[in-house]
């Protein structure tokens, strides 16, 4: 798989209101981030509305879902939203898809939708990709699949443009290399981009993040977690170059809490 240039995204939600959300989008573009990525959760504004607004407020910034949870809409509805965003953003939308976190069971019930089995949710992801390809026609919506298990990794290798290496923050480098191998086997000659989300930049984790992910910064350090980047900008850049060399990962996203902290790394590596 040929080595790709680095690009960077920031994961944020429009939870603090429209003005702050648009300021975040403009700042991400100003700092050289490639994409602004929005989570999918009934407790925050819809990613469709938020991303359309962010694209309208910027010039070149790409926008993406991180990720649309398959239990929260039918495959056809998800594809409709995705293709619509591709149209209204002038091709600056990237569709992130996944089977959703466990709390999506209750949220699906609120929407009157079945949560389904793991295979049902994965089938919905696959069907969404097929619907998007049909709706796009001559356009092409880049599709990211969050691949946390073997079936998801195989599907992502077969159908996705971008594969986000999902799973436990304590997954080892050796395990991650094995997962990349599974994806490469499924992808064959297809040209895919490998992505990784960084939970912590530095050595301090916000309290809400500890509760959400169920792990603290000390544990991440102890396990040499790939979900953390430490040191100065040069140290972080060197670590990301190592990951690209060893794992093929070139697309890195960080939580919006670290938008400014991570910017020097973006400046060092973006496009290289």
pLDDT by residue (tens digit) across 219-269? 999 999 999 999 999 999 999 999 999 999 999 999 999 999 999 999 999
Given this model, what pLDDT does residue 174 score? 97
Distance CA 86, CA 79 (A): 10
Task: Identify whether the C-beta of residue 238 lies closer than 8 Å to the C-beta of residue 265.
Answer: no
What are the pLDDT digits (tens) for 70-124? 999 999 999 999 999 999 999 999 999 999 988 899 999 999 999 999 999 999 9
Q: From its phi and psi, is residue 100 left (phi > 0), alpha (psi between -120 and 50) or beta?
A: left
Enumerate the domain spans of the chain: 7-269
Distance CA 267, CA 216 (A): 28
Residue 104: strand pairing partners: none
DSSP string, 142-162: -EEEEE-SHHHHHHHHHH-SE
DSSP secondary structure letter of residue 214: T
CATH 3.20.20.30 correct for 7-269: yes
The model's confidence at residue 34, banded by pLDDT at 50, 70 and 90, is very high
Mean pLDDT of the chain: 96
pTM metric for this prediction: 0.96
The model's confidence at residue 201, banded by pLDDT at 50, 70 and 90, is very high
The model's confidence at residue 23, banded by pLDDT at 50, 70 and 90, is very high
Q: From its phi and psi, is residue 78 left (phi > 0), alpha (psi between -120 and 50) or beta?
A: alpha
Distances in Å between the alpha carbon of 118 and those of 43, 96, 102, 107? Answer: 23, 18, 11, 16
Task: For Cα atoms 4, 151, 195, give the angle at the middle one, nearest 5 degrees.
Answer: 20
Higher pLDDT, 2 or 146: 146
**CB atoms closer than 10 angstroms to residue 107:** 19
Largest CA distance in the chain: 49
């Amino acid at each position: 798989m040929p080595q790709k240039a680095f690009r960077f995204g920031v994961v944020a939600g429009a939870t603090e209101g429209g003005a702050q959300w648009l300021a975040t989008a403009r700042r991400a573009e100003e700092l050289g981030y490639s994409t602004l990525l929005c989570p999918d959760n009934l407790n925050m504004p819809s990613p469709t509305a938020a991303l359309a607004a962010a694209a309208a407020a910027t010039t070149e910034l790409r926008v993406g879902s991180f990720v649309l949870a398959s239990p929260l809409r039918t495959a056809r509805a998800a594809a409709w939203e995705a293709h619509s965003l591709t149209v209204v953003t002038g091709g600056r939308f990237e569709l992130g898809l996944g089977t959703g976190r466990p709390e999506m069971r209750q949220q699906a019930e609120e929407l009157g939708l079945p949560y389904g089995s793991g295979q049902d949710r994965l089938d919905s992801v696959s069907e969404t990709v097929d619907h998007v390809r049909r709706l796009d026609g001559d356009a092409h919506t880049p599709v990211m699949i969050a691949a946390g298990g073997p079936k998801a990794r195989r599907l992502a290798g077969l159908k996705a443009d971008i594969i986000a290496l999902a799973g436990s923050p304590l997954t080892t480098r050796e395990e991650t290399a094995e997962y990349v191998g599974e994806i490469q086997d499924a992808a064959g000659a297809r040209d895919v981009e490998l992505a990784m989300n960084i939970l912590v930049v530095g050595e301090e984790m916000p309290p809400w993040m500890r509760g959400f992910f169920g792990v603290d910064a000390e544990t991440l350090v102890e396990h040499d977690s790939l979900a953390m980047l430490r040191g100065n900008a040069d140290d972080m850049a060197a670590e990301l170059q190592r990951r690209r060399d060893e794992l093929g990962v070139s697309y890195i996203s960080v939580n919006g809490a670290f938008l400014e902290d991570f910017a020097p790394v973006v400046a060092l590596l973006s496009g290289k």
